[in-house]
Chain A
Amino acid sequence: MKRKLMAVVVSAALAAGMSVAQAQEGKLSDDVVKIGVLTDMSGVYADYGGPGAVAAAKMAVADFGGKMFGKEIQVVSADHQNKPDIAKNVTLQWFDRDKVDMTVENLNSGVALAVSALGKEKNKITIINGAASARLTNEDCAPATSIHYLMDTIALGNVVGKAIVKDGGDSWFFLTADYAFGHSLEKDTGDVVKAAGGKVLGAVRHPLTTEDFSSFLLQAQSSGAKIIGLANAGANTVNSIKSAAEFGITKKQSLAALLMLITDVDAVGLKTAQGLYVTEGWYWDMNAETRAWATKYEAVMKKKPNSNHASVYSATLHYLNAVKAAGTDDTAAVMKKMREMPINDMFAKGGKVREDGRMVHDMYLFQVKSPAESKAPWDYYKLKGTVKGDDAFQSLANSRCPAFKKV
């Protein structure tokens, strides 16, 4: 074991030395730019990220030209099975043995927190796409190495919460997934509702493995709240929406799905999902650029991408551009470039990586179309409003990130 370790260390050192000697336009730490896509390949979030996220990262590499300073850019991927310990092991192996320079996607808040902490310890870049917990840029921030790219619980609550209270939905009851993510989504949205002059009448917390939501929905119904906020995700949200429609709850009260992507809308079907408000950072049918990218993605994956897939593409491309601009894959230099360079691609316009690691970009409020309004497969959203990045995300002044406060 010790000998093996020595061999690895020596060869890594040799490789590093050689790359310095060989480098022509830029310096690469171990002669390769290698990107690790860590995601749920087979579980409940496999459609949310999964193989589509890996495809998106590969598309970014291909669009970049496939090579960095004359060397092939490599993409590896792994299934974390939604288990933080597995995620940690894989990432550790990637960083220590497999010469991975950066990991992207990292969905599931539990996984994201573990990976981001590891990146901080090992001084490697971790980009979080699919996970939503705002702790990633607050209590558990790692601004020197980690970027939270797509959205977070604060932005989700901000966009949809404000819009609904303004529309007259001023009394809320939450249906909350009973774990860290659900709790912070409930709290963050509740704060927004109260700040906007609304009331939170109560909440019921359901276990993550719940299949039947009718009991919980009856409780939400008897609360008399105008809005039932679904502080859950994936299959839980899908089943909540179906039961609410079945029990006729949506006739008098409205649902607000706080975290729902287009792939979930597809799973519920328009007949049941119509009229729902959804907050997303991106939609494939916004303009010519997004449509062109979605067509390319569809050729590979046989379905349209969601905002998470698009953000993985954007994050990967932004990273590669930063490495090129910095002329090295050194973590600090690349992070500096990533913060300096604005993000202008099909995912975001004028996006910026803030000092606390938050990628700030515009967020959108959509309403799900009715089956009659939908003209084609995946034609699901009507744009109801655009919220400027600085209004959607938490302001730097409110940041609870200790590392950032010290700076």
Chain B
Amino acid sequence: MTEIFGVPIQAFMGQLTIGLVNGAFYAMLSLGLAVIFGMLNIVNFAHGALYMVGAMVSWMLLKYAGINYWFALILAPIVVGLLGAIIERTMLRWLYQLDHLYGLLLTFGLALIIEGLFREAYGSSGAPYDAPDIFRGVFDLGFMFLPKYRAWVVLASAVVCLATWFVIEKTRLGAYLRAGTENPKLVQAFGINVPLLVTLTYAFGVGLAGLAGVLAAPIYQVSALMGSNIIIVVFAVVVIGGMGSIMGSILTGLALGIIEGLTKVFYPEASSTVVFIIMAIVLLIRPAGLFGREK
């Protein structure tokens, strides 16, 4: 059998595919963070908690209201987005003129509170959430079995990521947004409601986290603590890609998922650290990140 670095090529391809699936999650979460940071200059530490809320809401919808996965896919991000709008209107709004640190501290505090509330209500071990029946089973790719649900996750996240990139970089709405953050006073003078635009941006950014949460619910255990592990990695992804760079965060997310997957084969003990090693190296060589522009 052909081998790559002493690993059979089939196993190698399998790990690449799995890395791609994880990368899809990283991409979607870091995209939301990048949008929020790029437009609002807020380092949103509540992102992981809101991802968890997305998963929790879809579980609660099923448990208490019998609402299935497909509706949850729409409803849960809206619920999380509304929560985000409330947070932005009532709290974050006052911090835009201050140092980044204040936004970071506020959102970090919020994350602890949100996680604490859910843990208090539902315990720490979480609950299972089943994927819809049409995703039961696996695709036989020849070199591995790929669960249908994971294939769907990659597809869904690719569509969402590209759509977001397109809206922000290629449409008029996106142009308003970018202009609004560059020079809010001037844009307002043209009759555009900048504060509303900012609220919507934050709501959209955390809505993406909520959507990632729904997508993750059938794969991982739905629990109050699910966001706290992933958020640190996602931050590293954003830093490597370049804070605020939309395409950068998408590509970096996918690439790091794959690198992490390969590390799990060659040196599994380091799989939780490899992202941070790369982050340190990138920061040394390109402090603005791979896709970021120095200001």
CB <8 Å contact, A218 and B14: yes
Q: Categorize the interface residue count of chain B.
A: 35 or more
In A36-50, which residues have CB < 8 Å from any B CB? 42-48, 50
Choice from A215, A239, A247, A271 contacting B145 with Cβ under 8 Å: A247
CA distance A210 to B221 in the complex (A): 12
CB <8 Å contact, B225 and A235: yes
**Of A212, A243, A266, A268, which is in contact with the most chain B CB atoms at under 10 Å from its CB?**
A212
CA distance A243 to B149 in the complex (A): 12
Q: Is residue B130 contacting chain A, with contact meaning CB distance below 8 A?
A: yes
Minimal Cβ-Cβ distance residue in A for B119: A42
Q: Is residue A65 contacting chain B, with contact meaning CB distance below 8 A?
A: no
Minimal Cβ-Cβ distance residue in B for A40: B124
Minimal Cβ-Cβ distance residue in A for B129: A269
In A242-296, which residues have CB < 8 Å from any B CB? 242-243, 246-248, 263-264, 266-269, 271-272
Chain B residues near A43 (CB-CB < 8 A)? 124, 225
Chain B residues near A272 (CB-CB < 8 A)? 128
Minimal Cβ-Cβ distance residue in A for B264: A215
Q: Is residue A209 contacting chain B, with contact meaning CB distance below 8 A?
A: yes
Q: Is residue A330 contacting chain B, with contact meaning CB distance below 8 A?
A: no
Choice from A46, A50, A246, A248 contacting B219 with Cβ under 8 Å: A246
**Of A206, A214, A272, which is in contact with the most chain B CB atoms at under 10 Å from its CB?**
A214
Q: Is residue B188 contacting chain A, with contact meaning CB distance below 8 A?
A: no
- The answer to whether A215 and B18 touch (CB under 8 A), given A209-B272, A239-B221, A267-B221, is yes
CA distance A184 to B223 in the complex (A): 28
Q: Is residue A168 contacting chain B, with contact meaning CB distance below 8 A?
A: no
CA distance A350 to B135 in the complex (A): 51
CB <8 Å contact, A206 and B11: no
CB <8 Å contact, A242 and B269: no
Q: Which 3 A-B pairs have the closest CB atoms?
A: A269-B128, A215-B264, A207-B272
Question: A207-B271, A235-B223, A268-B128 provided; 6 other pairs, C-beta below 8 A?
Answer: A44-B225, A47-B124, A178-B269, A215-B261, A216-B268, A246-B219
Q: Show 16 residue pairs from A and B whose CB-CB distance is below 8 angstroms, ordered by the A residue.
A: A42-B124, A44-B124, A45-B124, A46-B123, A206-B271, A211-B229, A215-B261, A218-B144, A219-B11, A248-B138, A266-B125, A267-B127, A267-B221, A267-B223, A269-B128, A271-B128
- What is B's interface to A at a CB cutoff of 8 Å? 8, 10-11, 14-15, 18-19, 21-22, 116, 119, 123-128, 130, 137-138, 144-145, 147, 149-150, 219-221, 223, 225-226, 229-230, 261, 264-265, 268-269, 271-273
